[in-house]
Amino acid sequence: MSLLFNVGAVVLLLGGLIFVHELGHFLVAKALSVKVVRFSIGFGPRLFGFTRGETEYQISLLPLGGYVKMTGEDPTQDVAPEDRGRGFLEQAPWKRLAISFAGPAMNLLFPGLLFVALGLAQNGELVAGPVVGTVAPGSPAEVAGLQPGDRIRSVTVPGRPALALRWFSDLRDVVAPHPEAPLTFVVERGGTSLPLTIVPAAEDDSNLVERRTRGVIGVTPAYATALAAPAPGLESPLRPLDLVTSVAGREVRHAGDLAAALAAASCQPVAMAVRRGSGADRPALALQAVPTCLPGGGPAVLPADPTVAAYLARVDAGSPAAAAGLVRGDRLTAVNGHPVRSFRDVNALGREFKPGVPALLSLGDGRVVTLTPEGEAFRDKQTREEGTRPVLGFHLEDRVGLEVAGLLVEEVTLHRGVGEIAGLATQQLWEVVRLTVLGLGKLFTGDISLKTVGGPIMIFSIAAEAAEAGLGTYLFQMALISVNLGLMNLLPIPVLDGGHIVTAALEGITRRRLSLRTRELANWVGLALLLTLMVFAFGNDLMWLRG
């Protein structure tokens, strides 16, 4: 994207949020009969504007803020005789509190409207239906007997009525809050309803702000790709990670088609068409007399997709994995004695890999190799902290050149009513506000590094990246920044809205006006704090750019 596009995205985001903020002050001031002299988006010299009634509306040169100028808000200036009674500082404390609170309140409410708009825009889209495509080996779903192709009709949480599933996202919503709790599933298989009890595993779902766990059962709504491998020790023209495109002339699009075609072969050797290798240029091969069953029974063709088996798709030259003798097609079965059945297990065992510390990898052919990870310096994008991470040199997934689109078992049209969308938007807004408040609190306690505080460069980067990702991402980031702007303005710092709110509240409680000297001193302190924060944030931005 061009620089002009990115600048426009940033100006629109900041200008929009500033307008919303100042509009709150403006509307409440007008409603309480306080005279508004000027409504400005931006600071500094006026670029253009107009006057309507008693108020001047203008756009100013510097877009990093805005203001609503009201009569009588400067205690050192007298109010004109014709404006007596309409000055800001002349108003009762509750009125000044309401005017000051209105700006941050608008920034906190505006994201709710954005979330509603995003929800309405999603209506009519095709989404995954509540049909199982992949079941991870060893997962709670597999242990309970859930199978690919099962349609999940409902899920019951203990003590609550059954929830009917309309689309796959409903499953995530009901399972995630209940790790290690027995849930009753009703699934449809072959026209028959089956009750299953599944206990979701607890999976780490921590973020920068809080540590928590979520429930997972190990299923996806998409079929695995038709990557296959021969059974260990079997003489076969098939090789690990061959992409099967047909079996005995029968088209194969995914692992479900492959299983059906192998079952139809009735243990007879078959011809297969496969694409072999990695990347986009996988050559097509015709394999003959591929066994489908082992001599003593059991499947001769095994899944090799990393979602259902931990096969290595790529090994980097000169890496620790290459030095350990690992090659494409090796299947991991354990790390330091911990069983590995799919890529989920490898991710969960990430703590077993430490720079310079040997790890024992067990492979499907019976080998046990020692891999010593190297260390790589990095800077965390969120925390901006520097650290060292282990480099292994092997990769489980290589989706380049695979036709993965259209692998959803079922697609249904998303449709939510306005009431449901509003409810979801309220929940989403509350979660964003909650996490932001927690984050601000941990900044002040030192639990989160002050290096995470960013300034205009970070905002530019976030807005530009979001705009390039699409309108939905852009509006979502606008909502997040709006919440941050609203809460930051509520901090009890003089010159910010929070400082005005505290002043009005104190005067309402004590029934005494603060002296002019006290107000001036508070404003100087507030300005000093604000400038210090701005310089600090800008310094963090420069360090981030250098890193």
CA distances 84 to 39, 438, 508, Å, are: 20, 43, 21
Strand partners, 36: 70
Q: How far apart (Å, rounded) are the C-alpha atoms in residues 489 and 104?
A: 6
What are the pLDDT digits (tens) for 72-84?
Answer: 888 778 888 888 8
Residue 225 burial (CB < 10 Å; 0-12/13-18/19+)? Answer: buried
pLDDT > 60? residue 304: yes
Which of left, alpha, beta for 484 (phi over 0: left; psi -120 to 50: alpha)? Answer: alpha
pLDDT of 185 reads: 96
Average pLDDT for 154-179: 93
CA distance from start to end of the chain: 23
**What size, in residues, is the chain?**
547
pLDDT of 515 reads: 79
Which SS3 state, helix, strand or coil, does residue 214 take? strand
Q: What is the mean pLDDT of the chain?
A: 87
- The lowest-confidence range among 175-179, 297-301, 376-380, 439-443 is 376-380
Active-site residue flag, 22: yes
pLDDT range class, residue 406, cuts 50, 70, 90: low
pLDDT of 522 reads: 77
pLDDT > 90? residue 520: no
**DSSP category for residue 222:** B
pLDDT of 43 reads: 83
pLDDT of 295 reads: 87
DSSP annotation string for 455-474: -HHHHHHHHHHHHHH-HHHH
What are the pLDDT digits (tens) for 17-44?
Answer: 989 999 999 999 999 999 999 999 888 8
pLDDT of 408 reads: 86
* In the chain, % of residues over pLDDT 90: 51
pLDDT of 541 reads: 66
What are the pLDDT digits (tens) for 433-462?
Answer: 998 888 888 777 777 666 667 666 677 777
Cβ proximity of 187 and 152 under 8 Å:
yes
Identify the helix (H) or strand (E) that includes residue 55.
strand 55-70
pLDDT > 70? residue 403: no
pLDDT > 90? residue 211: no
pLDDT range class, residue 279, cuts 50, 70, 90: confident
Higher pLDDT, 517 or 247: 247
What are the pLDDT digits (tens) for 61-74?
Answer: 877 678 899 998 88
What are the pLDDT digits (tens) for 340-362?
Answer: 988 888 888 888 899 999 999 99
pLDDT range class, residue 469, cuts 50, 70, 90: confident
Q: How far apart (Å, rounded) are the C-alpha atoms in residues 247 and 458?
A: 53
Average pLDDT for 114-131: 93
Q: Which of 22, 73, 386, 410 is catalytic?
A: 22
Neighbours of 6 (CB within 10 A): 17
Beta strands in 145-200 (DSSP E): 151-156, 163-164, 183-189, 192-198
pLDDT of 514 reads: 81
pLDDT of 200 reads: 95
Higher pLDDT, 458 or 431: 431
Q: How far apart (Å, rounded) are the C-alpha atoms in residues 43 and 49?
A: 13
What are the pLDDT digits (tens) for 473-505?
Answer: 889 889 988 998 899 899 888 888 888 899 889
Cβ proximity of 44 and 62 under 8 Å:
yes
Virtual CA dihedral for 98, 102, 105, 110, nearest 10 degrees?
150
Average pLDDT for 368-383: 80
Q: How far apart (Å, rounded) are the C-alpha atoms in residues 225 and 223?
A: 6
Predicted TM-score of the model (pTM)? 0.82
pLDDT range class, residue 57, cuts 50, 70, 90: very high
Which residues 6+ apart lie within 8 Å of 432 measured at CB?
Answer: 111, 479, 480, 483
Average pLDDT for 151-157: 95
pLDDT of 97 reads: 95
Average pLDDT for 5-28: 88
pLDDT of 544 reads: 64
Residue 185 burial (CB < 10 Å; 0-12/13-18/19+)? Answer: buried
Three-state SS string across 80-148, please?
CHHHCCCCCCCCCHHHHHHHHHHHHHHHHHHHHHHHHHHHHHHCCCEEECCECCEECCCCHHHHHCCCC
Average pLDDT for 423-431: 94
**DSSP category for residue 452:** G
